Amino acid sequence: MNDGKTVSQCVKNTYESMRVVVAVMLEDGDVPPRPCNQKRDEQLNIRLSTLEKKQLEVDATQGGFASVSDYVRFKSISKSA
């Protein structure tokens, strides 16, 4: 998720990146996801066109999410809440 010359620097850079993501979400009026206290042991597979997959990847990246899974999970949970 990040890098650095030392492990300590890498951890520091990662935390800074996370702070920036949360700040951007708040500025955009989004609510950062709450930590999950449940073990995520279920998997959902869906079929997408190449274009749909690329669009989800772009949206996830622009939204500051680490993965499409995180993006889809956040969007689906925030809409149902």
Report how far apart, in Å, the C-alpha atoms of 13 and of each of 4, 7, 8, 19, 47 are. 7, 10, 9, 10, 35
Can you give the pLDDT at residue 53? 95
Can you give the pLDDT at residue 47? 95
Can you give the pLDDT at residue 1? 56
| Alpha-carbon span 45 to 16, nearest angstrom | 32
Confidence of residue 2 (pLDDT cuts 50, 70, 90): low
| pTM of the predicted protein model | 0.52
- What are the pLDDT digits (tens) for 15-70? 888 888 889 889 998 888 777 777 888 888 999 999 999 999 999 999 888 889 98
